[in-house]
A = this chain, B = another copy of it.
Amino acid sequence: MVTLAEVAQHAGVSASTVSYVLSGKRSISASTRKRVEHSIQQLGYHPNAGARALASSRSNIIALMVPLRTDMYVPVMMEIAMAVATSARTHGYDVLLLTGEEGPAAVRRIAGSSLADAMILMDVELHDERLPLLRESGRTAVLIGLPAETGGLTCVDLDFEATGALCVEHLAALGHREVAVIGEAAAVYERHTGFAERTVDGVRAKARETGMRILHRPCEGGYAATAGTLGRVFDERPGTTGFIVQNEAAVEPLLNLLQQQGRAVPEDVSVVAVCPEQVATQASVRLTSVAIPAQEMGRRAVEQVVAKLAGRGTDEVELLEPVLTVRASTGPAPA
């Protein structure tokens, strides 16, 4: 491996000069810069990451903690993760992938070893065990999701309360009075994952306002589970004419089942989904939906991290405004 010293020798300057050319932290004459850059090119020099980290106490790595539960809302998670990785690169950072498996201890390990300059946490629970450790560690961090107590934390998330409200508003405007919410898997609520609960809160609040009856049921997703949930919904509320679906894995099964039962979408039943655009447009019925802006969430999280690391800190909660796109799955309530 080529070292900085070799580059310096090749260019006929001192090591520190090469370092300053690389970092731009001091002024360097054009001629020297050119010479050094040329040597770097020619020798194929790459700064050694470890040495750099040691000397500067900056690793240029952002740790990303994604939930282990690979079976849950996977596409969204993946999209966020990829967006984080991609945006991070544009800011000169690499991303370390941590699965939830290691649990809260990962926070301690990463912070303690200075492996990463900052952390981005996904799948945040309302009372997340990682948060106390995070605060204590004093490391820069950004959450994708919203815990119960956000004091001193930077958070990025879709405004799920507004999302819920938006869905209700849309259905209410179309005249629907009885609406069922097909929620995430029960485990998601048990873990008190913020977004799921907040969506329902938003739905409930707006429903009260508009005089709509809401039936909320968790659903595991998949065909069989969705069939069960749907059956129970119609048993309990035969007059249901609208559905708000939060679990992506229940979207297609639901459409399929409704069709089989002879309930036409949107003539007999309207469906609004909360899901990525791709899911909405590729479903068997083009779905009216509120998009989950996974890419944007990942990007914003990285931007916040970078800003904080640069000292331009903002301990803020940034809620992205939900956008509802009307497609072919919603229509006026049947008379």
Contact = CB atoms under 8 A, between A and B. Distances in A.
Interface stretch (A144-152, A217-225, A263-271, A318-326): A217-225
A203 B260 CA distance: 34
Interface stretch (A9-17, A95-103, A162-170): A95-103
A173 interface: no
Residue among A54, A89, A115 having the largest count of chain B Cβ atoms under 10 Å = A115
Interface in A74-96: 74-75, 77-79, 81-82, 85-86, 89, 94-96
A284 interface: yes
Contact of A282 (B59, B74, B222): B222
Given A223-B283, A223-B284, A48 B102 contact: no
A31 interface: no
A122 B280 CA distance: 28
A47 B77 CA distance: 31
A249 B114 contact: no
A51 B64 CA distance: 22
A50 B115 CA distance: 7
A82 B109 contact: no
Interface string A252-272: 110010011000000000000
Contacts of A111: 46
Given A222-B282, A282-B223, A282-B224, A85 B97 contact: yes
A1 B54 CA distance: 13
B222 A44 contact: no
Interface residues of A, number: 60
A264 to B, nearest CB: 13
Contacts of A64: 97
A110 to B, nearest CB: 9
Nearest to A78: B78
Contacts of A1: 112, 114
Residue among A45, A68, A108, A282 having the largest count of chain B Cβ atoms under 10 Å = A282
A71 interface: yes
A232 to B, nearest CB: 19
The count of identical subunits is: 2
Contact of A53 (B49, B68, B82): B49
A314 interface: no
Contacts of A61: 96
Shortest beta-carbon contacts, A-B, top 6: A46-B112, A50-B53, A222-B282, A50-B54, A49-B115, A97-B97
Given A256-B284, A283-B223, A44 B112 contact: yes
Contact of A81 (B97, B115, B223): B97
Given A46-B112, A64-B97, A222-B282, 18 more contacts: A1-B112, A46-B109, A46-B111, A49-B114, A49-B115, A50-B51, A50-B114, A53-B54, A66-B82, A70-B79, A70-B82, A78-B78, A82-B99, A85-B97, A85-B98, A221-B282, A224-B282, A253-B284
